[in-house]
Amino acid sequence: MMLSLSEIIVHLREVLAALLVMTAMLSSCSSEDSNCEFKAIFNFGDSNSDTGGFWAAFPAQSGPFGMTFFKKPSGRATDGRVIVDFLAQALGLPFISPYLQSIGSDFRHGANYATLASTVLLPNTSLFVTGISPFSLAIQLNQMKEFKAKVIEYHSAKKKGSTKLPSPDIFGKSLYTFYIGQNDFTSNLKDIGIEGVKQYLPQVVSQIAASVKELYELGGRAFFVLNLAPIGCYPAFLVQLPHKTSDLDKFGCLISYNKAVVDYNNMLKEALCRTRRDLPNASLLYVDTHAVLLELFQHPTSHGLRYGTRACCGYGGGTYNFHPQVFCGNTKVINGTNVTASACKDPNNYVSWDGIHATEAANKLTALAILNGSYFDPPFPLHKLCHLHPIG
């Protein structure tokens, strides 16, 4: 297919912009072992990338969360590390502190604004009614703006002594990551169905694109936007969402719901493509985590795992080991009996931790795939820009 002159010009502009960013980054790398140009990570998201923000605001998390890596609850909705943890490790950075955590935080290498149950769109209900977090993407973005303002104010005052704040020039040397949208897609899915959810998905992708633009105005130049996981393979949704047996594919995933996710991801990809043209000297990457996770759900044994659509931490056993009335770590009375949703002894063999979130094992495999560079659109040579560290 022949490209028009205007399309060729747009493509060349994108290539040149990417080259400018890469050249600037490479210029500071004197050797293979030099530090990565990315000095910090600022993350926006939901429970898939929350590293303790929600539980800092609403303390209550208990075991068995954190059992694999941290050996105790760490504010993450899994048994160990999440994808952003692995990205930080690979870039030679410490784990990124939650913005809402007042004790023990170190913001010299970024901040994590993600909180469990967050949405892209502003919620029209309360956390205590539907469980949706008040910290939507717009709120997280405002927190980022306030953070930058406070950093500049602090350094302008030329205060002496050590600080856990970054230098004012950090914002142009940082990686900005987005892993959010799952709750916008699923929170009303059971009640209004796929067609109902589709009505507001364009607003979701528009809000993400607009947030990228605002961060660009704040000095951001490198953005990773992770797409939506195949929710039709998650045990919780296989149990809770209405469907017929004919809607299950040969891997046990919900065909119609996964197709709707693909439609959303394509919409997101197109929106980022349009946004990219408006952001000179920026690298805006669409990251296809969906493809990685779908492969893990469909062929777990090919990647050192055993169980795809079965939760490690849950109650009920059977195909999914998920019960909608008792979530991971909780104990409830069901039919007159106290029951507990407990964790398996081998989460490293599972894709799904609690029916809704991925295990550390799945997160690590997904992070490795991202770091390999095969799931970026457009291509982005991260391994050439940074000396990537092991993420054992």
| Closest to 46 (Cα-Cα) out of 200, 258, 229, 198 | 229
Is 357 annotated in the active site? yes
Q: Which two tokens stand for residue 141?
A: 């973005």
Instruction: Determine which one of 46, 47, 74, 184 is catalytic.
Output: 47
C-alpha distance across the termini of the chain, in Å:
44
Distance CA 26, CA 10 (A): 24
Q: Which helix (H) or strand (E) holds 152?
A: helix 137-156
**Chain centroid offset of residue 359 CA:** 13
- Answer whether 112's CB lies under 8 Å from 49's CB: yes
H and E: helices and strands count for the chain: 13, 10
Is 354 annotated in the active site? yes
Instruction: Determine which one of 4, 106, 354, 389 is catalytic.
Output: 354
Is 206 annotated in the active site? no
Return the residue matching tokens 């809704």: 356
Q: What is the DSSP letter of 77?
A: S
- Answer whether 221's CB lies under 8 Å from 232's CB: no
What three-state secondary structure class fits 178?
strand
Instruction: Determine which one of 109, 290, 323, 357 is catalytic.
Output: 357
Distance CA 190, CA 235 (A): 14
Active site residues: 47, 354, 357
